[in-house]
Amino acid sequence: MTNSLPGFGSADTRPHPMIPYAMSSAPPGFIARLSIGKKLAVAFGLILLLLVGSFSATLVYLSRVNSYVDRHQRITIPGVVTAAEMLRNVGEIETRMHQVREHLSGADRTAGFAAIAGIERRTLASLDTYQATHAARTHPILYGMLEHHGRTDLAEQEDQAIVAIADGITALRAQREDLAATRVPTPAGPAATESTYEQVAARTQDAIASLIDVHRKIDVEMKIEGDRLVDQARTMVAGIIGVLGLLIVTVYAIMKRQVANPLKRLAATADRVAHHELAAQFEPWPSRDEVGALAGSLTTMLTSLREHSTALMRKTKELEAFTYSIAHDLKGPLREIEGFSSLLEKQFADSNDAQLQHHIGIIRTSALRLTHMIDALLKYSRLEQQNLPRLRFNVMETISSLLVDRQQFLTGTKAKITVNLPYSDLYGEPVSVRQAITNLLDNALKFSRHTAAPAITIGGQQTATEQWLWIRDNGIGFDAGQADKIFGLFERLHSPGEYEGTGVGLAIVKLVMEKHGGRVWAESTPGQGSTFFIAFPTQVP
């Protein structure tokens, strides 16, 4: 048996050299006189100003880039669409004209010419729209970009294509009007006229195709300008990042000298204390800033820790002595029970009395299990101030084993136990989880035994963050206002004469769930039974 806590019991009480803090004899400067909060405020203020400036400049460049993107969406794409529509209209005009001349006569011929006239009007309207909204000369910024790139020839080519298209549509309209005025076409005339009409339509289509090509070249120039602006923005951002980096390095150096290094020296002594060197000493800090307040608080904490450590070591020794004494007193009779049951098992091995052999087996198994539980409880006692050693285990097997153990207590009773868990694995400490489930099951059996048809359900639910396990009974229940009280140590809702118990079982359940970082609660209605819930976190630390 150990005589002290690990580390604290063997604490070196010899004096240790105190860690010296460097002190400057020169009067403190402006930065040194500031508190840590003000130092951080100044540093972050400078960084914020630089960030705001860089953000504003970046927004300016992005707005310029976005303006070209917007022009691409408002000018280039609609312009190409408009030109493509004109090209499609000219093709449709040519097709309809051939149909009118070759296959229609009378009223149908007149209607065909009218339809062609409508298409001509739509084409001229599209050309006017293009010239008014999509041509380069109608947008000063776009034309200025072409001048800057030395590509004003594209604007001239665009103007020439627009004029050629307008002349072509006008010529097609004139020929259509001439054909419409001719009542009876001559056999030789249509062929020559059709050839001329097709030539004009072809020239018009070529002019539209040239317009589309010029428009695409202008779009290429817009993309080149956008790339140039992006490169300028990148250069500017790189410069701002450089200045920001220099500012951050400067702030880091100041904060390290004024804040980090003093805290580091305090942390060195705090680390010694954390490693149970309670003889370490914190030197008082000469200034009255946050570091000085921290040094004073650490000194007070160390004094209190020494006092509590001494008292804790004394109580721990007493508890260890008591625990090992009780364990030794219990293990002796258990070893005797296990030994005699083993002898009885051998003596009646050839007996045909199956019930006797079963009872002997239960005695031996129970003695061994109780011995293991004592060992586990001793381990639990040692780890009471620590986290329980958790692992993933099969909780269904634990419940099945528990029900087998409880079978002898259920003999002669009418209790019906149903297990319906949606999961089988659980992350926790198996011994303590088994103890918690055992306490809840015993509680349900105890308070439902006077029911006409006792029914107990062990169920569960799995959420995104927790695994719930509940035990529901149809026993006497209790007032919902007592739901928190029943988990207190030695808290009872009934006298010992009504229901046996120590008032510790549910307190143990609560302690086990606290060790697992989980929850425990109960819901009940008097006369209708109770449901006890335990929830385990699903996230493995």
* Same topology between domain 278-385 and domain 389-537: no
What are the phi and psi torsion angles at 134 (to 5°)? -115, -15
What local confidence, expressed as pLDDT, does residue 396 receive? 93
Please report which confidence band the pLDDT of residue 291 belongs to, taking 50, 70 and 90 as the band edges: low
Band the pLDDT of 73: cuts 50, 70, 90.
low
In whole angstroms, what is the distance from residue 255 CA to residue 183 CA?
Answer: 99
The answer to whether the beta carbons of residues 104 and 63 sit under 8 Å apart is no
pLDDT, position 71: 60
CB distance 443 to 419 below 8 Å:
no
**pLDDT single digits (tens) 482-530:** 788 888 766 767 665 577 666 677 888 888 888 888 999 999 888 888 9
Find tokens 């009471």 and name the residue: 384
For residue 14, what pLDDT is reported?
Answer: 43
b/e 345-363 (16+ beta carbons within 10 angstroms → b): eeeeeeeeeeeeeeebeeb
Q: What global pTM score does this model have?
A: 0.38
> Which class is 278-385 in CATH?
mainly alpha
pLDDT of amino acid 164: 87
Answer yes or no: is pLDDT of 28 > 70. no
d(CA 127, CA 118): 14
In this structure, which topology does domain 389-537 adopt according to CATH? Heat Shock Protein 90 (3.30.565)
Is the predicted pLDDT of residue 541 greater than 70, yes or no? no
pLDDT at 22 over 50: no
> What per-residue confidence (pLDDT) applies to 422?
92
Task: Say if CB 420 and CB 469 are below 8 A apart.
Answer: no
Could you tell me which residues come within 8 angstroms of residue 535 by beta carbon, excluding any fewer than 6 positions away?
466, 467, 468, 469, 513, 518, 519, 520
Provide the 10 A C-beta neighbour count for residue 64.
Answer: 17
pLDDT digits (tens, 9 = 90+) for 222-257: 788 777 777 777 787 788 788 878 878 887 777 777
Confidence band of 190 (pLDDT split at 50, 70, 90)? low
Mean pLDDT for the chain? 76
Q: What is the DSSP string of 332-379?
A: HHHHHHHHHHHHHHHHTTT---HHHHHHHHHHHHHHHHHHHHHHHHHH
Residue 285's pLDDT is 62
Amino acid 246: pLDDT: 83
> Does the pLDDT of residue 258 top 80, yes or no?
no
Domain ranges for the chain:
35-183+190-254, 278-385, 389-537
For residue 307, CA distances in Å to 9, 13, 142, 301, 377 come to: 13, 14, 82, 10, 29
Rounded mean pLDDT, 523-539 = 89
pLDDT of 11 > 50? The answer is: no
Structure confidence by residue, pLDDT tens digits, 364-417: 777 775 665 566 456 445 545 556 778 899 999 999 988 888 776 666 667 788
Q: Are 367 and 337 in contact (CB under 8 A)?
A: yes
pLDDT at site 93: 83
Between these two residues, 468 and 4, which has the higher pLDDT value?
468
Q: What is the pLDDT of residue 283?
A: 66
Determine the pLDDT at residue 68: 60
- Percent pLDDT > 70 in the chain is 76
Helix, strand, coil percent values for the chain (each to nearest 5): 70, 10, 25
Could you give the CA distance from residue 65 to residue 376 in angstroms, rounded to a whole number?
Answer: 71
